[in-house]
Structure 1
Amino acid sequence: KKKWLPGCVTGDTITAIAMTEPGTGSDLAAIRTTAVKDRDDFVINGQKTFISNGMNCDLVIVAAKTDLNAASPYEGMSLIVVEDGTPGFEKGRKLDKIGLHSQDTTEMAFVDCRVPQTNLLGHEGHGFYALMDKLQQERLVCAMGSQVGAEEALRLTIEYTKTRTAFGKPISRMQYISFELAKLATEVEVGRAFLESLLIDHLEGRKDVKKASMAKYWICEMLNRVVSQCLQFHGGYGYMEEYPIARMFRDARVQTIYAGTSEIMLLIISRQLGL
C-alpha cells in the first residue's frame, strides 16, 4: 500500500488488470496463465488480451494460476502485481477497436516474467473470489456510464429534432417521432431511478449481486436501444463523425460485452432467482 497506492490516488501511476486471455473471456476460471514459485519469486508465463490501459499502465494486476493442482478451478488463482519494465513483461499491439478510440486496449505477454513473492495481492489462491467480489462494483460503474450516455444521447436528439425541419415543421412535432422520444425518455427515467436506488445501497454497504447484474444488463442494453434510435432521428447527419451521436453509437456497443456480457448477466440473475 505504501509503495503503490499514493501514485494510484494522485493519478501518477496508471493501473490495469489483466484477466482476459485469447481463449478465455467470461469463463475466468479457465485462464491458463501460470505463476510458479521459484525461491523468493513468482515466474509468470501466459498471454492476456483486451486489457484496458494496457499500453500506458505502470502497474498491472495479473490473474494467474498459482496452484495447478487445486481441487476446484475457482481455487488456485492469485493476483500478482507486475511493474512496467519488468523483464519478461511484454506489451503487445494496441488493438484497433470499433469505438472508445481514446482508451488504449492491448495484448500482453509474460515470458518467464520474474517478480518477488511480495508482489502477491491479497491471499494466495483467493484471486478468483476477490475478483468476483469487486466485479459487482465494476458492473455498477458500467451501468452509471451507460445511464449518463443514454441521458445525453436523448438530450442531444430532442434538441436536434426541435431545430431540424421537414415538410414545413420541426420533426419533433411529427407524432411518430414525438411518441418514440417519449418512450425513450421513459426508459431513461426508469434506468435513473433503479440505478440511484442501487447506489444508495452500495454506499451504505449493502451488496446485491442480483440487482447489480440486472442494472448492468438492462441499462447497458437500454443505452444501445436509445443511441440507435437517436442516431436514426438524426438522419444522414447521425452517420457523420462530426455529430456527437455517431461517436456515442460506436462507443455504446461494447457496454453489453465488457465487464460481463449481457448473456452472463442473465445467467447470474437466473441463478440468483434459484432457477
Structure 2
Amino acid sequence: MAHLLVFVVAPEALLPGDGADWPSLVEAQRRGVGSGVALRLFRLPDDWPGSLQALIDSGKADATGSDPIEPVDGRRSRLCDAVVPHFDPRSLWIGVYAISGSAFSDNEVSDNEVSDRQVSTSVPVPGDGHPASRMSISGVERLDAFPLRDAENETCWFYPTEDGAYLSWENQRRLELLPGVMAEQPLQTQPIPYQRPDLHVLWSLMADDRSLTCVGLTYGRRRIDWPVVAAVPEACATWTSFSLDSMAEAQYCELASCTVFAQDGPGAVPGAVR
C-alpha cells in the first residue's frame, strides 16, 4: 500500500469532506487559487556600469524575464526563479488529506504516460509530475480543515539580504494548480503522521513593502509545493533595479522601474523607466 499527504487551499465551501475522491480534490484546488506572480531576482556584478534603461532599450530586459546580464566567470546572475500563488489567509482554508492506494511499478508508470488520457478519472494524469500520478488511488481521508489565518506563522527572507545591486522581474499570471505535496516527498509505505501545529504559513517582506506577504506554506519544516498544471502570463512584466545597504536607514532602495510588454501583444512597446 502507498500513502501520500496532500494539501488543498480553497474557500471553506469548496473543501471536500469525508468520502472525497481525487477528482474532487483536484477540482477544489483548481477553483480555490487561480492566480499568482512569477518572480525572478538577479544579482548585478560589482561596479556594473550599465543601467535598467540601457537593458530595456537593447531588448535584453524584456517581458519573458530572461537573464539580461552576461555571465561573469561563467556564472549566471539569477538568484531566484519562483511562482508564488496568491494565498490569502484572510479568506482561504486549508484541507489536509491522506490518500492511499497501490503504487505503480516503473513499467506501469511508463505505459500510462503513453496512454494517459485513457486512465480512470480516479487517478491523476500519469506523467503530470505529481507524486499521486505514481499510484492508483483507492482511499481519500480528510484529516483536518481550518482557516489559514489560524495556522502557525513563520517569517522568511524571500528577497536577498546581502548588500549589493539587483534586478527583479515580476509577471502576474493565471494559474491552475494541483493539490499540494511536501517537496521531494516520495510515496510512503506507511500512513504519514499529521499534526496541525506542524503546518506553518510563510510570510516575507517583498521589496519595500511595509506589510508581510504570504509566500507559501510548510509542513514539518518542509516546503509544500503546488504543481502548476497551466500558467497564462499577463502580456506585461515589471523590471526593477534596486540596491541593498545594511548600514543605511532604509536598507532597500529602488533605483528604477519599468513595465515592458510582450512583443506579440497589443501595445508592444518597451516602456519608459521611471
TM interval, shorter chain, is under 0.3
Return the structure number with greater helix share: 1
With the length of structure 1 as denominator, give the TM-score of the two structures: 0.22
How high is the TM-score relative to the length of structure 2? Answer: 0.22
The one of the two structures with greater contact order (alpha-carbon pairs below 8 A, sep at least 6) is: 2
